[in-house]
Structure 1
Amino acid sequence: MKIFPMQQGMQTIALEAQNVSRQATGQQVSQDFAELLSSAIKKVNGLQKTSSELAARFDQGDLSVSLSNVMIARNKSSIAFEATVQTRNKLVDAYKELMNMQI
């Protein structure tokens, strides 16, 4: 599973933005960004669910799940969540900066 789906999505958007033959409207950019953010949050949620399920199976004594699998899944979900929180913080800071700009 990819830990940083948002980064790949943002790279795709950056490449599309460099394509000057297609003019994007504010509404299109807003929809693309909303879809990207929604997709990233769903992937982080999926990683957290997988981590919880593996931990529960390990606790129940499932021999097909090792402790290392549980720890790797837990670390993946933790890193993905931290990346999401940091991205959110940067977006909030950028929004505040835009709101404080003089027109």
Structure 2
Amino acid sequence: MRTGGIDSSQIQSMIAQLKAHATRPGLTPPVIQTEAPAQPKVDFSDALKTALDGVNASARTAEGLGKQFASGDDSVSLSDVMIAQQKSSINFQAAIQVRNKLVSAYHDIMNMQV
């Protein structure tokens, strides 16, 4: 029987093949994960310290490259120094923005009426 260009016997045979495949021994049904895997707890102070350590490390790297370039080290190019300084500057500005948001949130909480 054909309805609208689709042969129903082909559909039935395909369904039968799928059922036969699903009931084969040795196959395990797929496991559907309903919960996200447990993430390790991150302490805010640890995350903040890690971020600030990263900012400090980028500043030290930029400073070290600048000193090497100024002393005439041929292995350090001016572009490396400038890129390191720009990365350091961007990291520092991001840290300043985070600090400003934290101070603003602190003031908002302190000004709440209880």
TM-score using structure 1 length: 0.70
Quick one: higher RCO (CA 8 Å, sep 6+), 1 or 2?
1
Deviation at 1:45, TM superposition (A): 0.3
- 1:50-69 to structure 2, matched below 5 A, reads 50-69=61-80
Distance 1:58 1:82 in 2: 24
Distance 2:87 2:77 in 1: 16
Deviation at 1:48, TM superposition (A): 0.3
User: Which residues of structure 1 form unaligned runs of 5+?
Assistant: 1-18, 23-27
Distance 2:110 2:61 in 1: 39
User: How many pairs does the alignment contain?
Assistant: 77
**Cross-structure match for 1:14:** none
Amino acid across the alignment from 1:54: L
User: Which residues of structure 2 form unaligned runs of 5+?
Assistant: 1-35
Deviations 1:21-66 (A, max 9, x none): 99xxxxx7xx710000000000100000000000000001000000
Report the structure, 1 or 2, having the larger helix content.
1
1:102 equivalenced with 2:102 (yes/no): no
Amino acid across the alignment from 2:71: Q
Residue of structure 2 aligned with 1:77, choices 88, 98, 107: 88
- Percent of aligned pairs with the same amino acid: 49
Considering only aligned residues, what root-mean-square deviation do their CA atoms show, in Å?
A: 1.9
Runs of 4+ in 1 over 6 A off after TM superposition: none
